[in-house]
Amino acid sequence: MLEKIDLTKKMGKKEYKEVMEGLTAELSELQRECRNEKIPVMIVFEGLGAAGKGTLINQLIQSLDPRGFHVHAINGESEEEKLRPFLWRFWTKTPEKGRIAIFDRSWYRKVLIDRFEGITPEEELEKAYQEINNFEETLSEGGTAILKFFLYITKEEQKKRFERLRDSKETAWRVSEGDLKRNKHYKKYLQMNEEMLQKTDTDYAPWNIIEAMDREFATVKIITVVVECLKEALENKKRAAQKADKDAKLDENAQVNGKSAAILKSSMLSQVDLSLSYSKEEYKEKLDALQKKISLLHSALYKKRIPVVLAFEGWDAGGKGGAIKRLTSHMDPRGYMVNPTAAPNDIENAHHYLWRFWQTVPKAGHIAIYDRTWYGRVMVERIEGFCTTEEWQRAYKEINQFEENLYNAGAIVLKFWMHIDKEEQERRFKERQGNPAKQWKITDEDWRNREKWDLYEKAVDEMLIRTSTTYAPWIIVEGNDKYYARVKVLQEVVDALEKRLK
Amino acid sequence: MLEKIDLTKKMGKKEYKEVMEGLTAELSELQRECRNEKIPVMIVFEGLGAAGKGTLINQLIQSLDPRGFHVHAINGESEEEKLRPFLWRFWTKTPEKGRIAIFDRSWYRKVLIDRFEGITPEEELEKAYQEINNFEETLSEGGTAILKFFLYITKEEQKKRFERLRDSKETAWRVSEGDLKRNKHYKKYLQMNEEMLQKTDTDYAPWNIIEAMDREFATVKIITVVVECLKEALENKKRAAQKADKDAKLDENAQVNGKSAAILKSSMLSQVDLSLSYSKEEYKEKLDALQKKISLLHSALYKKRIPVVLAFEGWDAGGKGGAIKRLTSHMDPRGYMVNPTAAPNDIENAHHYLWRFWQTVPKAGHIAIYDRTWYGRVMVERIEGFCTTEEWQRAYKEINQFEENLYNAGAIVLKFWMHIDKEEQERRFKERQGNPAKQWKITDEDWRNREKWDLYEKAVDEMLIRTSTTYAPWIIVEGNDKYYARVKVLQEVVDALEKRLK
């Protein structure tokens, strides 16, 4: 993509001044419109050293309202970041709806500088490109406008700029050994950039090559592209809103037609043997042995820096809480965290639905337990209409990719569906209502959800089928007998940890 | 405080079981009540190595709803943390209203392990104790319940426990060289703990010594203390609410009486010479020279790792935005951040009012610019009644301590009051309304605030007097002439940076 670029382009000061006046006013206005329309925007600056990323970003933000953007300078990974999946630090920096996140270098470090330095092994490259493309696609489909700039200068110009920086005492420190090495091996490094551009130039997040020899020209080109892209994003948003209206109407019809089809489908869940049980003695004995094992395994996986994700879903009163309690009661609290998932708050709602789960992704060596999870997207959000049909249908792929990211970072990922039948649920609801210490656990909403049992059953069935993967399997837990269910959860965790630690 | 402690206390298994059943039910209930009453709770675990912090914290959290607490394990400072004021990582971890933050080691590391290791120089100890006490007092006065546990075992017991851990392959790594050293020099290290306990045992955050030889006894004592403290916190909350009602009534009376007194007071602001101005030529020349200087100074302070805080307050349309723009237009965006302060969002409202400003405290070598600041507490919040009289009166001290924390961490702290007179404000408001590109800048609220000019003048006057300190001076900027104001801001920043860099 780079060979066809004409690096001699320039712009005179006078022309620059005239063009900029109109452009910056337009940009200011567009930022306000995007804020009103709640469009999140990500602007990525990549390119060669001394191509002027800092100066050009500063030019760009001069026309922006500081209440609406944030500049992230992406250096090498910190200790904290090294302990988590590669995309963690970028997911957690994705902007709120209506805000702009500007990246001075970005997730592309991994396939550029870090590759050049040998920090990213060659065999991880394909996986990295894949993860990057999935990341951008997921965000783009979620409504984020993604703009990517690649700043391009010649080897000679780069050398000249480095020399000028090194000539002054105040700026000499800005030129690193790595910079000089990349200038020396300009061609080799450029080749890596070329490969990156080709592999990640997509329809949802295309690259813009910026001829960065002349600052005025580059500034105008960047701001022009930003202006065009924000206009397009506003158009897309409008179209998407119209489409959602239309889809909602289609959905209503489909639901009527879909009902008989649902009955024809046999449910995975109907095959579960809910008669499985343990006596109190069996339970105590097994529990005791498993808890002791877990305690030692927890210690061992901390030492080996293996991250673990345990996701719990299931019917209301299905025994998630009780199972989690037995699982953690002999663990070291410094090494695990229970993350309960309630309805999203303001801030969470202003981000992509996966954003809040990225926040709590475990560090290497730690266990993250989720009491309800990202699967809310394809269950409660689907059934209550909190997201569009298109959105929850897309979510299976997004969730699989999310879990694959965890797996690629070395994590053990297990997902438990705590299964009970409708009669057992009623028994437990009534028991809770009758017990003053447990009354707070049961609300009118629980009873309302119960009425939608059949809809949920269909959604769960589809979820289990579409998201059971080799890297993140679903484990259905026969839950009518609490003793049996708790032991099964612990046993599955022990088995998975032992298998990995061997 | 330690010498009187009887370390032979024990509890039988049977008694333990009986007592615990009642205690844990009570604790669960109290957690729910504290959540309903929106009381934030911080529980600190300090003490000797192998005293059982991990196990005891796990015992405690078994009775807690995981939706309501978070365990923070406090290790040595990370690179990111080292670049910020000592309390930054703790302020950012203070819990939301209604939630519990549990600290496995805490800010006391600085005066214990880090002191023992020589990481904290002896001459910094007094300052550290002072900052710690101020931190706890500020939070406590803001309504946080603070519980501190010190786990105590004998030298022999500690040695035995270390040996037991080292005997097993799975647990040997848990005993560090530092642990063994502290056991060897038990007496010396205990003396440091004793000093820490004495210096930080306060009425607002007292220490609880836990005899940790017997796990059952320690568990019961800890949970009992937590139960008692939460009960007390609920009582305090109730009393505070009653007091606030009473105070509000007193305030109404006071305001009537206070009016004449306000007129008698001569305002600091009335002495400001608003006729100061520059011609366009003078302005351009000075601005150009100063911007070039700032750019070089910015680079130099990055290299020397000096953090800078620039706080902007002033009348609406006082020229904050324009001054900030001229200040930053030649800076490297990787080294500065403009933090605009709007009305707090949900999450910010659920914390201490200083919490959100701690989030954006600059790293060493970076410049944080605040467009409106923590001074909202003693201006808009005071005048609009968003906080009680007691709260804004207390805020002067809290704000001074906050800025002192920044100063102690090496920061340059400058505060600008952008001053214009009432006539100039009217002129600017009208100009904005007449200009389509600026209309969005002016709202009905601005006109409403203008009506409260006299009240604000009084509040500003008091603020300037009470919070002008040697370590964080206020600079009043004569703002009727925009050129003069912008040059003055830049000049003051240049002067302060040059002074420090010399």
Q: Cα–Cα distance between A414 and B446 in angstroms, integer?
A: 55
Sketch out chain A's domains with CATH numbers: 13-240 (3.40.50.300), 276-501 (3.40.50.300)
Interface check for B437 against chain A (CB to CB < 8 A): the answer is yes
Q: Which pairs with CB-CB distance under 8 Å and at least 24 residues apart come from A274-278?
A: A274/A419, A274/A420, A274/A421, A274/A424, A274/A478, A274/A479, A274/A480, A275/A480, A276/A478, A276/A480, A276/A481, A276/A484, A277/A480, A277/A481, A277/A483, A277/A484, A278/A481, A278/A483, A278/A484, A278/A487
Q: Of chain A residues 190-219, which have a CB less than 8 A from chain B?
A: none
Interface check for A23 against chain B (CB to CB < 8 A): the answer is no
How far is the alpha carbon of B150 from chain A, nearest alpha carbon, in Å?
Answer: 18
How far is the alpha carbon of A100 from chain B, nearest alpha carbon, in Å?
Answer: 14
A173 contact residues in B (CB cutoff 8 A): 303
Interface check for A498 against chain B (CB to CB < 8 A): the answer is no
Among B55, B338, B360, most A C-beta atoms within 10 A, so best to mutate, is: B338
Interface check for B359 against chain A (CB to CB < 8 A): the answer is no
Read off the pLDDT of residues A222-262 as tens digits, 9 standing for 90 and up.
999 999 999 999 999 999 888 877 777 766 665 544 444 55
Q: What is the mean pLDDT of residues B31-59?
A: 96
A167 contact residues in B (CB cutoff 8 A): none
Candidate from A338, A345, A346 with C-beta closest to B66: A338
Interface check for B235 against chain A (CB to CB < 8 A): the answer is no
Average pLDDT of chain A, as a whole number: 93
Q: Of chain B residues 317-336, which have a CB less than 8 A from chain A?
A: 324-325, 328-334
Please list, in sequence order, all residues whose beta carbon lies within 8 angstroms of the beta carbon of residue B493, skipping any fewer than 6 positions away.
B294, B310, B327, B414
Q: So what's the pLDDT on residue B253?
A: 60
Is the pLDDT confidence value at B255 over 60?
A: no
Q: What is the mean pLDDT of residues A478-489?
A: 97
Q: Do A347 and B342 touch (CB under 8 A)?
A: no
Q: Cα–Cα distance between A406 and B310 in angstroms, integer?
A: 41
Q: Which two tokens stand for residue A381?
A: 């959000």
Do A324 and A349 touch, CB atoms closer than 8 A? no
Q: Do B173 and A303 touch (CB under 8 A)?
A: yes
B57 contact residues in A (CB cutoff 8 A): 333-334
Q: How many CB pairs under 8 A join A and B?
A: 104
Q: So what's the pLDDT on residue A366?
A: 96
Burial label for B436, CB within 10 Å (0-12, 13-18, 19+), is exposed
Q: Do B324 and A66 touch (CB under 8 A)?
A: yes
Candidate from A28, A334, A346 with C-beta closest to B104: A334
Q: Cα–Cα distance between A410 and A86 in angstroms, integer?
A: 11
Read off the pLDDT of residues B128-155 as tens digits, 9 standing for 90 and up.
999 999 999 999 999 999 999 999 999 9
B62 contact residues in A (CB cutoff 8 A): 325, 328-329
Supply the angle between the helices A482-501 and A320-328 in degrees, to the nearest 10.
Answer: 50
Instruction: Band the pLDDT of A264: cuts 50, 70, 90.
Output: very low
Segments in A211-279 forming alpha helices (H): 215-264
Q: So what's the pLDDT on residue A270?
A: 81
CA angle B289, B492, B373 (to 5 degrees): 125
Q: Do B66 and A303 touch (CB under 8 A)?
A: no
How far is the alpha carbon of B73 from chain A, nearest alpha carbon, in Å?
Answer: 6
Q: Which two tokens stand for residue B463?
A: 């603020």
Q: Do A296 and B170 touch (CB under 8 A)?
A: yes
* Minimum Cα–Cα distance from A22: chain B residue: B437
Is the pLDDT confidence value at A108 over 70?
A: yes
Read off the pLDDT of residues B386-438 as tens digits, 9 standing for 90 and up.
999 999 999 999 999 999 999 999 999 999 999 999 999 999 999 999 988 88
Q: Do B66 and A346 touch (CB under 8 A)?
A: no
Q: Do B440 and A340 touch (CB under 8 A)?
A: no
Among A71, A99, A298, most B C-beta atoms within 10 A, so best to mutate, is: A71
Q: Of chain A residues 405-434, which have a CB less than 8 A from chain B?
A: none
The CB density around residue A123, as the number of other CB atoms within 10 Å, is: 7
Average pLDDT of chain B, as a whole number: 93
Is the pLDDT confidence value at A436 over 90?
A: no
Q: So what's the pLDDT on residue A260?
A: 45
* Minimum Cα–Cα distance from B104: chain A residue: A334
Read off the pLDDT of residues B310-364 as tens digits, 9 standing for 90 and up.
999 999 999 999 999 999 999 999 999 999 999 998 889 999 999 999 999 999 9
ipTM higher than the 0.90 cut = no
Q: So what's the pLDDT on residue A346?
A: 87
Read off the pLDDT of residues A312-368 as tens digits, 9 standing for 90 and up.
999 999 999 999 999 999 999 999 999 999 999 888 999 999 999 999 999 999 999
Interface check for A172 against chain B (CB to CB < 8 A): the answer is no
Candidate from A61, A66, A333 with C-beta closest to B340: A66
Q: What is the mean pLDDT of residues A115-120?
A: 95
Strand intervals (E) in A357-473: 367-371, 412-419
Q: Cα–Cα distance between A333 and B100 in angstroms, integer?
A: 14
Interface check for A294 against chain B (CB to CB < 8 A): the answer is no
How far is the alpha carbon of B258 from chain A, nearest alpha carbon, in Å?
Answer: 37
Q: Do B296 and A57 touch (CB under 8 A)?
A: no
Q: Do B58 and A331 touch (CB under 8 A)?
A: yes
Candidate from A78, A324, A331 with C-beta closest to B79: A78
Read off the pLDDT of residues B222-246 as tens digits, 9 standing for 90 and up.
999 999 999 999 999 999 888 877 7
